[in-house]
Amino acid sequence: MVADSFYQGHAASKLRRDLKRVIALTLLVEAIGACVIYLDLLDEGLEEAPIFSAIFHSISAFCNAGFSIYSDSLVYHRFESPAFIYTIMALVVIGGLGHAVVLETARRTWNRLRRIQASPLMWSLNTRVVLYMSSSLILIGAILVFPLGANAQSRSWFDAVTNALFQSVTCRTAGFNTIDIGALPRTGLLVMMVLMFIGGSPASCAGGVKTTSVATWYAQLVAWLRGRTDVTLLGRRVPPEIVARAAMIIGLGVLWCSFGCMLLTLIEESSPKMTMMSLMFEQVSAFGTVGLSTGITPMLSQTSKMWIILSMFVGRIGPLTFAMIISQRAAAKTRYPEERLMVG
């Protein structure tokens, strides 16, 4: 399962070698991020001993954890240390791409520096889809979030653009915030919920249904609308079992979040402060292992908190994996007769 998550095809023999590279690359990226954050905090004079803050936030950002040692997350630092904010964004993006993608990109960059020519077709389909989807979601998310709350809570155009980019990046499982999430309009919360549900990429530190699953599902939809039997992505045909798995992951994710929203609404029905939108946001945030909230988390009942914990667990290991654990694997012994029905 680990090999299948990391690689395309039969490449389990590379696992031990690449795991060492993953550990080395993780430590290198986090060390560089900590150094940049430390120098920025030191230059701004915001703290007496910023070394712990730099290390903590670098690891938290790269691992898409989203924990901060500051009570307001990173709201204060967006005004005082923009370099800090952009470094956090870079770490979150790298951590959410997936180790296989980062390793492949690093290897090709190294070969380019050594002037070793390589064909563009040598990029794997997984890496190309992840890079295209990640960049597109960040850009589209920032464009949508900008007029839906980020601009209203900003002091300047630069601050507004930074806030929009930051929330577009971090609401796909990182969980940091530079604006008041509870003050956003409902449309802005809906945009963030979509980004949280999609999440990051496979074999990364991120949660959600993953960018490649959404890309495969979209390619399948386009193939159906055009009457094609093959599902293609970027000039490559996607195997039917991968297409089925992507559709199953998204379907299970939608079912889990829908059931969770209904359950939270039922449990918290007596509380006037729990709106439907805030509970939906809480559920999707938990499933995507994001950690953002409109501010209702401390007010949730113990039963709701237990459900949120379970949603975070399911969202992190994956809905398909969780379904396989609890389902029976006995082969079907009966094949029923076929009959058509009307749909649509």
Query: Is residue 333 included in any domain, yes or no?
Result: no
Look at residue 330 in the predicted model and tell me its pLDDT. Answer: 63
Q: How many domains does the chain have?
A: 1
Sequence-distant (≥ 6) Cβ neighbours of residue 294 within 8 angstroms: 181, 182, 189, 277, 278, 281, 282
Per residue in 203-229, pLDDT (tens digit) is 888 888 999 999 999 999 999 999 888
Name which of 104-118, 139-153, 175-189 the model is least confident about.
104-118
Q: Which domain holds residue 261?
A: 12-107+124-325
Look at residue 2 in the predicted model and tell me its pLDDT. Answer: 56
> Tokens 């939270």 appear where?
264
Query: Is residue 99 included in any domain, yes or no?
Result: yes
Per residue in 30-76, pLDDT (tens digit) is 999 999 999 988 887 666 678 999 999 999 999 988 899 888 888 87
Residue 136: which pLDDT band, with cuts at 50, 70 and 90? very high
Of the candidates 262, 252, 240, the one whose C-alpha atom is nearest the C-alpha of residue 209 is 252
Per residue in 140-175, pLDDT (tens digit) is 999 998 888 777 777 788 888 888 999 999 988 888
Query: Is residue 68 included in any domain, yes or no?
Result: yes
- DSSP letters spanning 15-80: HHHHHHHHHHHHHHHHHHHHHHHHHHHHHHT--S-THHHHHHHHHHHHTT----SSTTTTTTHHHH
Of the candidates 74, 84, 95, 93, the one whose C-alpha atom is nearest the C-alpha of residue 54 is 84
Look at residue 142 in the predicted model and tell me its pLDDT. Answer: 92
Per residue in 300-321, pLDDT (tens digit) is 999 999 999 999 998 888 777 7
Sequence-distant (≥ 6) Cβ neighbours of residue 250 within 8 angstroms: 209, 213, 214, 217
Look at residue 90 in the predicted model and tell me its pLDDT. Answer: 94
Query: Is residue 139 included in any domain, yes or no?
Result: yes
Look at residue 99 in the predicted model and tell me its pLDDT. Answer: 85
pTM across the whole model: 0.86
Contact in structure between 87 and 55 (CB atoms under 8 Å): no
Query: Is residue 100 included in any domain, yes or no?
Result: yes
Query: Is residue 331 included in any domain, yes or no?
Result: no
Look at residue 203 in the predicted model and tell me its pLDDT. Answer: 81
Look at residue 31 in the predicted model and tell me its pLDDT. Answer: 96
Query: Is residue 240 included in any domain, yes or no?
Result: yes
- Mean pLDDT of the 106-123 span: 72
Tokens of 340: 């058509």
* pLDDT of residue 118 exceeding 90: no
Query: Is residue 310 included in any domain, yes or no?
Result: yes
